[in-house]
Amino acid sequence: MTEKPFATGRCLCGAVSFSVAAPPLLMVQCHCTDCQRISGGGHLSIARFKSDGVTISGETKTHIVTADSGNTVTRRFCPTCGSRLFSESSGRPGVIGIVAGAVDDNAWFEPEMVIFKRSQPLWDITVDDVPCYDTLPPPTPT
């Protein structure tokens, strides 16, 4: 018996697919300039999940940067169609970010936080009735 996953998704060409067992830990909209370059738009909508509930099939390529925070951010994309799918940060072990747009049925996505508001373009309107941060939210004790 396999339980029905919370969500499934794939890249544009279908070479990379994934399933997610449980609902997200957090949903964010990120206006950082990296996300703007990646998306070609004004932000990325990202849902963060526990990594151990996410199953990925297909090969991905990685692009690794050191963020302003000093954390190592690893972004994974499909080498065939270029869809950018996953991100992980050394500051958030055990957590994986998945872009909402790659999820088959993403109607559940509802941003709980807007980050890097300082670089939000005026032409890219996102929600403002949730906590908004110029950069990242202050660290929360865990």
Query: Going residue by residue from 68 to 87, which x/- string records binding to Zn ion, judged by CB under 5 A?
Result: ----------x-xx------
Q: How far is the CB of 49 from Zn ion (least distance, A)?
A: 17
Residue type, 45: S
Q: Let me know if 12 is exposed, middle or buried by CB neighbors in 10 A (0-12, 13-18, 19+).
A: middle
The contacts of residue 2 (CB under 8 Å, 6+ apart) are none
Q: Which is nearer to Zn ion, 52 or 131 (CB)?
A: 131
Q: How far is the CB of 58 from Zn ion (least distance, A)?
A: 8
Q: Which is nearer to Zn ion, 22 or 74 (CB)?
A: 74
Q: Tell me the two tokens of residue 116.
A: 């890097």
SS3 sequence of 21-50: CCCCCEEEEECCHHHHHHHCCCCEEEEEEE
Query: Going residue by residue from 23 to 62, which x/- string records binding to Zn ion, judged by CB under 5 A?
Result: -------x-x--x---------------------------
With contacts defined by CB under 5 A, how many residues of the chain interact with Zn ion? 9
Residues paired with residue 32 on neighbouring β-strands, in sequence order? none
Residues of this chain that bind Zn ion (CB under 5 A): 11, 13, 15, 30, 32, 35, 78, 80-81
